Structure 1
């Protein structure tokens, strides 16, 4: 039996908890990746970051969770990834 990391209210997963987890997860990954990205050009960092399978990483981290939770976490992280890539691309212009 799997015990969820997230509370449910009337059977509905707490979106605030999911969003907080996803943001924290993304920032932890980003901190780790930044150590590598400082060794390459911004253009190469953008290219490499765009190839990271964030959705797969999230699915592995949340294995056993409800698909609704996983999809919400994937959406939040993908939004953060796009924002970060947009920020990085601004340095290329």
Structure 2
């Protein structure tokens, strides 16, 4: 499955909806959409099936830059929390 990134600007915020499988090859596209975003950014991940290590790291970096997550499945929540503990140590 390929990834699809859809950007929607609403008032003073941007929603980046990520569908499919976020892989290393897709991270640059996601970062480009982030760079063009206006105001606060929300990552809508309800249709994101999975992410490889590079995709997970990109999401972590966006969180550190202030992105909010929306629609996170229990699987992705576990994937993000597990990878964060592995990469950065227990929080």
Query: Same fold, TM exceeding 0.5?
Result: no
- The answer to which structure, 1 or 2, has the higher relative contact order (CA under 8 A, 6+ apart) is 1
Structure whose alpha-carbon radius of gyration is higher = 1
TM-score by length of 2: 0.30
TM-score by length of 1: 0.29
If each structure's strand is expressed as a fraction of its own residues, which one has the higher value? 2
